[in-house]
Structure 1
Amino acid sequence: MNPKDLKEILQALEQADVREFSLKTPDYDLSIKRGAESVAVYAQAPQAQAPQPQQLPAQQQAPVAAATPPAAQPEASTPAVAAAPAATPGTPVKAPIVGTYYASSSPDAPAYVKVGDSIKAGQVLCIIEAMKLMNEIEAETSGTLREILVKNAEPVEYGQTLFIIE
């Protein structure tokens, strides 16, 4: 599966407001979970044994139901986050998936882009590693890169603003 196919799947799931999706083929298994609840599962999965994250939501059904308001809180905080980039006019480039942000293809390579660069639609801006897959994130618009809002090797969440292109 290439990054463009994955991006199309993610966009379709977002439009349909699907929170959990699994696809199994002979070549790969794809499992996608969106929302604040899934972020906690991803954060705990590498550190804890797999049964523990699966047991927590089942054991705490009331807090999971109560987790709906915290999911609303990040949305409430999103305008506050969006207000900060609003100081720099332009188009935000948001993370299409949860993963780890990388500014270049390898630690020795120069960054794909830097502040002040002229950006063309379709140009690779960064890589987001998700489930051991390296996904190239491309610009959807042309312009000048005004701001980079994340640091190299930093974890990013779905919908988090990565860049501002003016």
Structure 2
Amino acid sequence: MDIKEIQNLIKFVAKSGASEVKLEMDDIKITIKTGSEDKGENTTYVQQIPMNAPMAQAAPAAPTATEPTTATPTPVDENSKYITIKSPIIGTFYRKASPDKPVFVEVGTSIKEGDVLCVIEAMKLFNEIESEVSGKIVKILVDDSSPVEYDQPLFLVDPS
């Protein structure tokens, strides 16, 4: 199981409303806990189990914690006046809802909080990505129908 599959699993469990999911396979154990008392944050522990490993081999990596976030705007280093809108999930980026519909935004489009900027298909689900800032689209950083990674920059927005 690779990191992309684990991230997809985390997103699925977070959306399902389950409080805890444990998954054990031949060489991996995953526990995903979504605590209502800690305001919806997810904690994931991944443990690799060595298969017939010799004693001289290094110990397996320590469990990691992963907290998925939404499309949080962050300043870009090269031009601090622009805000970068990043992908909250991995999947396929689409600029329009369907092939016969117009694109959600173009360069120069004024946007406000809550406007749909694009959709990302992940595991046969189409997730609308909404803006968390108001401003004007300066640059679209991803081509239509391209795969995107978690936290990959999608748009540059001028908030002024």
> TM-score, normalising length from structure 1?
0.52
Contact 1:88 1:146 survives alignment (8 Å): no
Aligned-partner residue type, residue 124 of structure 1: V
CA distance in 2, matches of 1:89, 1:161: 15
Aligned to 1:121: 113
CA distance in 1, matches of 2:59, 2:93: 31
Aligned to 2:132: 140
Aligned to 1:44: none
Aligned to 2:85: 93
The answer to whether residue 137 in structure 2 is matched with residue 160 in structure 1 is: no
Which structure: greater helix fraction?
1
With over 3 angstroms needed to count, the CA separation of the structure-2 counterparts of 1:161 and 1:64, relative to structure 1, is: farther
Deviation at 1:108, TM superposition (A): 2.1
Aligned-partner residue type, residue 104 of structure 2: Y
CA distance in 1, matches of 2:59, 2:146: 29
Q: For 1:21, which of 2, 14, 32 is the aligned residue?
A: 32
Report the number of matched residues: 108
Q: What are structure 2's unaligned runs of at least 5 residues?
A: 1-10, 16-29, 35-41, 65-75
Contact 1:88 1:164 survives alignment (8 Å): no
3-state secondary structure, aligned to 1:134: strand
Q: What are structure 1's unaligned runs of at least 5 residues?
A: 1-5, 11-18, 24-31, 38-55, 69-81
With over 3 angstroms needed to count, the CA separation of the structure-2 counterparts of 1:129 and 1:62, relative to structure 1, is: farther
With over 3 angstroms needed to count, the CA separation of the structure-2 counterparts of 1:142 and 1:132, relative to structure 1, is: same
Q: Mapping of 1:7-156 within 5 angstroms?
A: 9=14, 21=32, 65=61, 82-83=76-77, 86-87=78-79, 89-156=81-148
Deviation at 1:89, TM superposition (A): 3.0
Aligned-partner residue type, residue 112 of structure 2: K
With over 3 angstroms needed to count, the CA separation of the structure-2 counterparts of 1:115 and 1:58, relative to structure 1, is: farther
> TM-score, normalising length from structure 2?
0.54
With over 3 angstroms needed to count, the CA separation of the structure-2 counterparts of 1:58 and 1:22, relative to structure 1, is: farther
Which structure: greater strand fraction?
2
Higher radius of gyration, 1 or 2 = 2
CA distance in 2, matches of 1:62, 1:153: 41
Deviation at 1:87, TM superposition (A): 3.4
Contact 1:128 1:137 survives alignment (8 Å): yes
CA distance in 1, matches of 2:113, 2:100: 26
